[in-house]
Amino acid sequence: MIPLLASLGIVLTGGIPSAQAIEIIHPEKFTPDEVRVIQKIGDAFAVELDALKPLPLRIEKIKSTDPKSSDYTRFDGRKQRVTISISRAVTDINVFASTVCHELGHVLGGSGPVTADLPDAQAMREGIPTYTNIEGQADYFAAMKCIPRLADVLPPVEPHSLCQGAVDEARCSLVMTIGKIAINAMVDRRNQQARKDGIRGQLPRELDYGDRSNYRLPLTTYSGYSDDACRLQTWKAAALCDVDSWVDFSPTDEDQGACVDGAGMRPRCWYLRGSTPLTSPNGPRS
């Protein structure tokens, strides 16, 4: 005889429930912690995701296709769907959360002055809205709007020394800690790939918030990936920005929901307020 609760358990585990606002493709490929993060994102961004209709957001796990950037957002032009694809190589729950948040930032990170063209020719030909935000903005969104809203499904963190005196020390510490974990996970992946490829010489080392970006100050906002130290500065800025994480960025006002001066503003290594984003002429210093 099967007790009621046990049979209920079988029902629940037979099909892991997807978040309402996010469709999980092959939920059995995700761990319970990952499903919790996705469901929390679905709850925390229910209003914003609802506004995406007719573009229901989907999330899937994929084999890594690119060792440098193993996770990406793609748009299915024909089905008018946004799909977030997460590499199976992502195993740490903090890295998973920050990766999903970054990809979500391409969709919900505000647009207007911080929007780049979607490199999906088919969707553009068919006039499908693309909702693509630039890399730096996706990071700023992940750190400022997304990770803080997931606090209760992520592992607890220690108070961070850079957050002493912050208005919300717990939120600041969470963002500082996860930002460092996320950026250094990319450094690790690149190092592993370099070793596999037999590349000799100095491999990138673990970065911290004191490390300076190797990028010139941009003449206009840069739409591509800046270097790791610059990306880490974006996390730091988001951690130190006191604007409420529940105030969304705006499609028409780049200042809404953001810090426009002080330590919390988007860092100058990729962002120039009021400028048009470009795949920039600003390369690394040589």
Based on CB atoms, which residue is closest to Zn ion, 142 or 237?
A: 142
Write down the least CB distance from residue 113 to Zn ion, Å. Answer: 18
- Judged by beta carbon, residue 166 or residue 227, the one nearer Zn ion is 227
- Min CB(69)–Zn ion separation in Å: 7
Name residue, tokens 């911080």: 114
Q: State in angstroms the smallest separation of the CB of 140 from Zn ion.
A: 12
Structure tokens at 129: 């809205």
Kindly give, in sequence order, each residue whose CB lies less than 8 Å from that of residue 47, ignoring residues fewer than 6 positions away: none
CB of 137 to Zn ion, least distance (A): 9
CB burial readout 98-113, b (16+ within 10 A) else e: bbbbbbbbbbbbbbeb
Residues that bind Zn ion (CB under 5 A): 135, 138
Encoded amino acid at 122, one letter: Q
CB-nearer residue toward Zn ion: 19 or 142: 142
What is the smallest separation between the CB atom of 261 and Zn ion, expressed in angstroms? 26
CA-wise closest residue to 34 among 81, 91, 103, 115: 91
**Closest CB to Zn ion among residues 134, 163:** 134
Nearest to 270 by CA among 242, 237, 231: 231
Tell me how far apart the alpha carbons of residues 147 and 152 are, in angstroms, rounded to a whole number: 10
State how far the Cα of 270 lies from the Cα of 165, in Å rounded to an integer: 27
- Is 141 or 173 the residue whose CB approaches Zn ion more closely? 141
Rounded Cα distance between 139 and 142, Å, is 5
Residues whose CB falls within 8 Å of the CB of residue 94, separated by 6 or more in sequence, listed in order = 154, 155, 177, 178, 181, 182
Query: Shortest Cβ distance from residue 66 to Zn ion (Å)?
Result: 12
Question: Measured from the CB atom, is 135 or 254 closer to Zn ion?
Answer: 135
